[in-house]
A and B are shown apart, each in its own frame.
Chain A
């Protein structure tokens, strides 16, 4: 695999010789990433957010999942020393709710990203490698899903599931059903160009079967654009979840989601902006963190796109 990568990337090869240490595309990309400020800031933010999603109690003394922590008499009181981000319509502490809301965003972003990459990547590999009718069937199927607007399609799927059952994992499912074709297209194109390389012919001449050629030779050389797109998509999925929850079809109370908080606060927005502003700021920072990560990964893995 290293040999194949190096023949594809002569510039990287030259750099490697100068640096006098063994490097594949991956270790080269890692070398670039560690020196990229955007990557460092983005990944630091993402790590904090993951920590927040896994252990919200580390960040907030109040357990926002307990209704007893809310006090109707304290509703929309603005910023106080007790409630740093103010209180919402039900008198719940906005700060702790924002912290506890990170979980849904992180789950939806990462899970949808991984699922679409696996399904779209897998089917794209098959379509690109086998061509002919496999390609025709898979590509047409992908086009059918691709033509459906994501938010509207997800709205329909979630309505079909029913509001009483809808939760974060159903949002993941709805988004994944609509988003995999994009990855399939990218993987397919990438596989088709990798398939005609000499090292594939060599492997075939040496008697490697289709499974081995796909996994050992084509996949490692075709997967970079998929990783780039999947990383950039994480922010898109997080924004989509917030939008769906805002519309009332995504995550349902008592689960906490930033989109849901924005939707709840919207009618009293002018008199009490805090319960809307703070989840909005956290949502934007989270999307920003993942976009920075995606941008940096793209620059490291695919210098041509810069």
Chain B
């Protein structure tokens, strides 16, 4: 197990280096001069510009700049913005917002996806199963761009106007955890559908297994068969999917953040690209890639805990 963890961590290093380099090179190639952009409409003192370019290594070739950056990252320093603010403290709050949003979505996904999949599998072939399958097809087809605006209108505006219920804030984060409910539901949409289908398929396979037939044959109550034999075994791929999805949800939140006006990393990245705050852009993507890699690693290790048949060595 220990050796497996070390091997996986070592494998992650070239991926992380390569990905950050790709992002770094893209940002390097962005049009416009970042220092000139700092002055806005005014022209900056050439001496100041020269000094800034020197400080931020902007005159060096791409690879040298990347070397300065990555040696900083290794020691936990994500660099400073051109205005002199450390990048890490700059987007700490933004990461928190995106993380809250992704976790809310993940909770919705886990609850709705598993329940729908479970119910469909137990009612296999009947109309309830058909209805749930049709519903997942609908969920997959409605992009967040569409579902976001619909829920904003229905829950945020119509519900308030017609019934006076003002429980679902649909813009900003000033209402604490409630602010994340509707955006989280929107972000979860596609994943709920995938997870429901995955749970259904996985359960139906397990329901056909010999040990389940044995358990039923020896007179075990249905509830106990489901809980001890079926669920425990068929939820392994479901948990894997959930873990790996955290990274996807965080990286895919930008459209939801824009619709609901949540100040998360997606929005920040969007602004920073046009302000040419290179360190912020690369920093955000680096953090998201890290989350993705670590989430996948944890999931792989969870596998071994959940299914003792899998051995790593």
Q: Does B149 contact A (CB under 8 A)?
A: yes
Q: For the complex, what is the distance from the CA of A147 to the CA of B31, rounded to whole Å?
A: 25
Q: Does B146 contact A (CB under 8 A)?
A: yes
Knowing A145-B22, A152-B269, A160-B26, the reply to whether A235 touches B255 (Cβ < 8 A) is no
- Residue numbers in A under 8 Å from B209 (CB-CB): none
CB atoms of B141 and A291 under 8 A apart: yes
What total of A-B pairs shows CB separation below 8 Å?
126
Kindly specify which of A66-74, A210-218, A276-284 makes contact with the partner chain.
A276-284
Knowing A155-B269, A291-B141, A295-B137, the reply to whether A284 touches B146 (Cβ < 8 A) is yes
- Residue numbers in A under 8 Å from B150 (CB-CB): 280
Kindly specify which of A90-98, A117-125, A201-209, A266-274 makes contact with the partner chain.
A266-274
Q: For the complex, what is the distance from the CA of A144 to the CA of B31, rounded to whole Å?
A: 24
Q: Does B293 contact A (CB under 8 A)?
A: yes
Kindly specify which of B71-79, B172-180, B228-236, B246-254 makes contact with the partner chain.
B246-254
Kindly specify which of B112-120, B284-292, B301-309 makes contact with the partner chain.
B284-292
Q: Does B70 contact A (CB under 8 A)?
A: no
Q: Does B18 contact A (CB under 8 A)?
A: yes
CB atoms of A283 and B26 under 8 A apart: no
Q: Does A149 contact B (CB under 8 A)?
A: yes
Q: Does B138 contact A (CB under 8 A)?
A: yes
Q: Select one of B19, B142, B254, B285 contacting A284, CB under 8 A.
A: B142
Q: Does A115 contact B (CB under 8 A)?
A: no
Q: For the complex, what is the distance from the CA of A143 to the CA of B296, rounded to whole Å?
A: 12
Q: Does A225 contact B (CB under 8 A)?
A: no
Q: Does A14 contact B (CB under 8 A)?
A: no
Q: Does A179 contact B (CB under 8 A)?
A: no
CB atoms of A292 and B137 under 8 A apart: yes
A20 CB to closest chain B CB (Å) equals: 30
CB atoms of A280 and B273 under 8 A apart: no
A282 CB to closest chain B CB (Å) equals: 10
Q: For the complex, what is the distance from the CA of A270 to the CA of B157, rounded to whole Å?
A: 9
Question: Digit string of B216-254 for contact with A (CB within 8 Å is 1, else 0)?
Answer: 000000000000000000000000000000011011101
Q: Select one of A143, A150, A266, A295 contacting B15, CB under 8 A.
A: A143
CB atoms of A159 and B273 under 8 A apart: yes
Q: Does A47 contact B (CB under 8 A)?
A: no
- Residue numbers in B under 8 Å from A126 (CB-CB): none
CB atoms of B288 and A287 under 8 A apart: no
CB atoms of A148 and B141 under 8 A apart: no
Knowing A160-B26, A269-B153, A273-B153, the reply to whether A149 touches B143 (Cβ < 8 A) is no
Knowing A152-B288, A162-B31, A239-B143, the reply to whether A247 touches B255 (Cβ < 8 A) is yes
Q: Please provide the chain A residues from 133 to 161 with a CB less than 8 Å away from any CB of chain B in the complex.
A: 140-141, 143-145, 147-153, 155-157, 159-160
Which A-chain residue is minimally distant from B250 (CB atoms)?
A149
Q: For the complex, what is the distance from the CA of A159 to the CA of B30, rounded to whole Å?
A: 7
Q: Does A242 contact B (CB under 8 A)?
A: yes
CB atoms of A288 and B266 under 8 A apart: no
Q: For the complex, what is the distance from the CA of A259 to the CA of B258, rounded to whole Å?
A: 13
| A interface residue count range (under 10 / 10 to 19 / 20 to 34 / 35 or more) | 35 or more
Q: For the complex, what is the distance from the CA of A144 to the CA of B269, rounded to whole Å?
A: 20
Q: Select one of A140, A148, A157 contacting B289, CB under 8 A.
A: A148
Q: Please provide the chain B residues from 1 to 53 with a CB less than 8 Å away from any CB of chain A in the complex.
A: 14-16, 18-19, 22-23, 26-27, 29-31
- Residue numbers in B under 8 Å from A270 (CB-CB): 153, 157
Q: Does A100 contact B (CB under 8 A)?
A: no
B130 CB to closest chain A CB (Å) equals: 12
Q: Select one of A140, A243, A291 contacting B137, CB under 8 A.
A: A291
Question: Digit string of B133-145 for contact with A (CB within 8 Å is 1, else 0)?
Answer: 0000110111111
Q: Does B270 contact A (CB under 8 A)?
A: yes
Q: For the complex, what is the distance from the CA of A147 to the CA of B258, rounded to whole Å?
A: 22
Q: Does B97 contact A (CB under 8 A)?
A: no
Q: For the complex, what is the distance from the CA of A243 to the CA of B289, rounded to whole Å?
A: 21
Which B-chain residue is minimally distant from A290 (CB atoms)?
B141
Q: Does A246 contact B (CB under 8 A)?
A: yes
Q: Does A176 contact B (CB under 8 A)?
A: no
Q: Does A168 contact B (CB under 8 A)?
A: no
B223 CB to closest chain A CB (Å) equals: 28
Knowing A143-B15, A235-B141, A239-B143, the reply to whether A150 touches B273 (Cβ < 8 A) is no
CB atoms of A160 and B254 under 8 A apart: no
Q: Does A262 contact B (CB under 8 A)?
A: yes
Which A-chain residue is minimally distant from B288 (CB atoms)?
A149
- Residue numbers in A under 8 Å from B273 (CB-CB): 155-156, 159
CB atoms of B143 and A276 under 8 A apart: no
Which B-chain residue is minimally distant from A295 (CB atoms)?
B137
Q: Select one of B14, B138, B266, B274 contacting A140, CB under 8 A.
A: B14
Q: Please provide the chain A residues from 219 to 265 with a CB less than 8 Å away from any CB of chain B in the complex.
A: 235, 239, 242-243, 246-247, 259, 262
- Residue numbers in A under 8 Å from B201 (CB-CB): 305
- Residue numbers in A under 8 Å from B251 (CB-CB): 148-152
What are 6 pairs between A and B in contact, CB < 8 Å? A140-B14, A151-B251, A155-B273, A266-B259, A284-B142, A287-B141
Q: Contacts A144-B14, A149-B288, A242-B145 known; list 12 others, CB within 8 Å.
A: A148-B22, A148-B289, A151-B251, A151-B254, A156-B27, A160-B27, A160-B30, A239-B143, A246-B145, A246-B255, A269-B149, A281-B146
CB-based closest 6 A-B pairs: A149-B251, A288-B141, A144-B18, A239-B143, A280-B146, A159-B273
